[in-house]
Amino acid sequence: MDPDAVRATDEVAELAGIVGAVAADLALGAARLALGRPDERRASLACAALTRAGFGARSTLAGHTALAGVVRVHGIVIRRAASDFSNDSEKQKTQVFDSHTREVAALVPGRRGAEASGSRFAVRGCMKIGIVGCGMVGSASAFALVMHGVGREIVLVDLDRKRAEAEANDINHAVPFAHPLTVSAGDYAELAGAGVVVIAGGVAQRPGETRLALLQRNADVFRQIVPSVLRHAPGCILLVVTNPVDIMTHLAARFAADFGVPPTRVLGSGTTLDTARFRALLGRHFDVDARHVHGYVIGEHGDSEVIVWSQATIAGLNLEEFAAVRRTPLTLADRAQIDENVRRAAYQIIAGKGATYYGIGSAVAHIIDALLHDRRAVLTICSGVSGMAAAEGVTIAQPHLIGGAGVLATIPLTLEPAEQRAFERSSSILRDAIQSLELAEQRRP
């Protein structure tokens, strides 16, 4: 058999696995089209691979997408597959394949199959990311995405179009030194096909303004942003960064539900940054690479957050054990200093330079990388997906498993009694804030 044909059929199955929603029968059709002739044995292998991967019939679009991917990636000449659309004009065929190729870029949510096999169906370089609100945080996120080579195309949307254009231009000039992404400014319509849309837009606190009044104004901003995004990118994962991030994520999920978006596709950066700060400080204390320090900060992204000392480990040892092995004591005063530096970091940075953005920008890029590449990462994002009585109905940060479909699971930690009480307190602070916001909204004329 023609080796090209063999590869094409195998890759139909693999691509289908990556797309995650391709019907076996459509993939069979796609295999036939891509091969230019039927091949039952290879096509049935493709179907068997699909079945093993656990994908059932879902959508014709996905089937066509698989086809477009095969045609595009495999290089089986478009003309050959296009000839099956025999009633279409050449121009129509080209349009169909162009649009399918864009769909491949937009829809492929993960590369589970690709990673397993080292195939060239990597989604890196195929994905579009939207960022709504490109002030300090939004633009630092775009910069981090370019520096890490996450995604293929970034669209910046902001009320201030000139700012968005200037940021896009500036970041584009870093591309030759980093990774081949394109960064542009656009309107909501340009978010079409985005796999992930970050929301970092919002208004800042006015002098004398209460936290609740600020919340109400940011709720109004989200009431406009979330539908505008979902009208153009209905399949995207929303990643909320705007503060107070737990409450804004809760609101985003509520507004997104009106568009049929499940809570698994709406997440906030939560305490990802606080967790990184905790690990960085422990790493510095023990002189260990922070990537080899495991520990979590959970709860509200704010004053009531909980630093889970009891579960922190290095090399599988708890901190007391590791301190003894390394003969590096971790005194109560050291702990208090680390706690203060984690909890008060944002205040200290804002006092010094007005805003925090590099750390959160890197955290955003890391979360998006986990989503686009289906990394199955454990991150302390915040989400309404909970399996914990203490946080039922509250959008709060705790370890979650993150992958191509968004939030895959909540992983509750085994907390010590004092930590559990602190987590419940943090949870009730967030619950109260949501309730007071809802009450204030009901009272509004």
The catalytic residue positions are 301
User: Other CB atoms closer than 10 Å to residue 257's CB: what's the count?
Assistant: 14
Report yes or no: 359 and 392 within 8 Å, Cβ to Cβ: no
Is 200 a binding residue for ligand NAD by CB under 6 A? The answer is yes
User: Residue 382 CB, nearest distance to ligand NAD (Å)?
Assistant: 9
The residue (of 96 and 349) whose beta carbon lies closer to ligand NAD is: 349
Min CB(273)–ligand NAD separation in Å: 5
Q: Applying CB under 6 A, which part among 136-144, 281-289, 303-311, 325-333 lies near ligand NAD?
A: 136-144
Angle of helix 245-257 versus helix 211-232 axis, rounded to 10:
40
CA 51 – CA 236 distance, rounded (Å): 26
Which of 241, 281, 307, 402 contacts ligand NAD by CB under 6 A? 241
Q: By C-beta, is 33 or 197 nearer to ligand NAD?
A: 197
273 binds ligand NAD per the rule CB under 6 A: yes
Q: How far is the CB of 319 from ligand NAD (least distance, A)?
A: 25
Q: What type of residue sits at position 80?
A: R
Q: Which stretch binds ligand NAD (CB under 6 A): 109-117, 129-137, 145-153, 333-341?
A: 129-137
Nearer to ligand NAD, 243 or 383 (CB): 243
Nearest distance, CB of residue 246 and ligand NAD, angstroms: 9
Residues of this chain, 400-429, that bind ligand NAD according to CB under 6 A = none
Instruction: Kindly state whether residue 221 participates in binding ligand NAD, applying the rule CB under 6 A.
Output: yes
CA nearest to 338, candidates 280, 294, 292: 280
Residue 393: partners with Cβ closer than 8 Å, 6 or more residues away: 384, 386, 431
Give the Cα separation of 152 and 178 in Å (integer): 12
Q: How far apart are CA 44 and CA 27, in angstroms?
A: 10
Measure the CA–CA gap between 199 and 216, rounded to whole angstroms: 17
Residue with tokens 């970034």: 154
**Distance from C-alpha of 214 to C-alpha of 212, rounded to nearest angstrom:** 5
Interacting residue with ligand NAD among 43, 132, 267, 338 (CB under 6 A): 132
Q: Is 328 among the residues that bind ligand NAD (CB under 6 A)?
A: no
381 counts as binding ligand NAD under rule CB under 6 A = no
Report 287-306 residues binding ligand NAD (CB under 6 A): 301
| Identified binder of ligand NAD from the candidate list 23, 137, 298, 306, rule CB under 6 A | 137
3-state SS class at 320:
helix
Per the omega criterion (within 30 degrees of 0), is the bond before 244 cis? yes
Q: What angle do CA 118, 121, 127 make, to 5 degrees?
A: 125
Q: Give the interface segment with ligand NAD, choosing from 135-143, 182-190, 250-258, 379-387 (CB under 6 A).
A: 135-143
If the CB atoms of residues 65 and 426 are measured against ligand NAD, the closer one turns out to be 426
The percent of the chain in helix, strand and coil, each rounded to the nearest 5, is 55, 10, 30
Binding string, residues 140-179; x marks residues near ligand NAD by CB under 6 A: ------------------xxx--x----------------
> What's the closest the beta carbon of residue 254 comes to ligand NAD, in angstroms?
17
Residue indicated by tokens 């293929």: 152
Category of 193 on φ-ψ map: left (φ > 0), alpha (ψ -120 to 50) or beta:
left
Residue 361 found at the interface with ligand NAD (CB under 6 A): no
Residues that bind ligand NAD (CB under 6 A): 132-138, 158-160, 163, 200-204, 221, 224-225, 241-243, 245, 269, 273, 301, 355-357, 360
